[in-house]
Amino acid sequence: MVLSGSFTTTASVSPPASNSWKLPPLILNDLNGKRHNLYEWNNNVIILNFWATWCRPCQIEIPHLIKFQAQYGSSGLQVIGVGLDEKRKLANFSRTLAINYPILHADPNQDSHLLRLWGNATGTLPFTVIIDRGGAVIFKQPGIFDDEAFNSYVLPLLTDNLAASLSTSEGEL
């Protein structure tokens, strides 16, 4: 399978939404060698982003993801990057951009099947999957995941939680 960056912006909503917790577990090491299971972040809204350092659209997209994590992490958002690249290159890139979310390492030769498993038959990078707090796959998109996509697909999932938190806080006053 050849992985290639592209500016493809075709988006697709999963009808019907499948549940990510029913897929084979996504278990990968982070850049420090610690093993993680995607399920560790259940009960969060997850932006699962597949990328590589050589992918120019990925390079354009990552600052958006950093901003989303900084602004909405305390509201239950968890961005998780799955880097399909050499671990050393991922670590250098992560350090240079000060990526503020977990980067899991996937070997591009051995783990390219992960893209197909998550619904990316073409292998296009970047590729983003949005998972709600219950594990439902809400949205999948090859290409750059930008502010417009975030506002359309992620923010409503977070806003429901923010509204519930605000009503609880107001009741305590």
Closest to 79 (Cα-Cα) out of 126, 113, 35, 15: 126
| Over residues 143-169, mean pLDDT | 78
Stretch among 1-15, 47-61, 74-88 having the lowest mean pLDDT: 1-15
127: left (phi over 0), alpha (psi -120 to 50) or beta: beta
The pLDDT of residue 126: 97
How large is the average pLDDT for residues 144-160? 93
Q: Looking at mean pLDDT, say which of 19-28, 71-80, 110-119 comes out highest.
A: 71-80
pLDDT digits (tens, 9 = 90+) for 27-56: 999 999 999 999 999 999 999 999 999 999
What stretches of 28-151 show up as alpha helix (H) in DSSP?
Answer: 56-72, 87-97, 113-117, 147-149
Domains of the chain from N-terminus onward: 44-163 (3.40.30.10)
Given a cut of 80, is residue 14 above it in pLDDT? no
Instruction: Please give the Cα distance from 53 to 86 (Å, whole number).
Output: 9
pLDDT at 173: 53
pTM of the model: 0.83
pLDDT in tens, 89-104: 999 999 999 999 999 9
Of 19 and 37, the structure prediction assigns the larger pLDDT to: 37
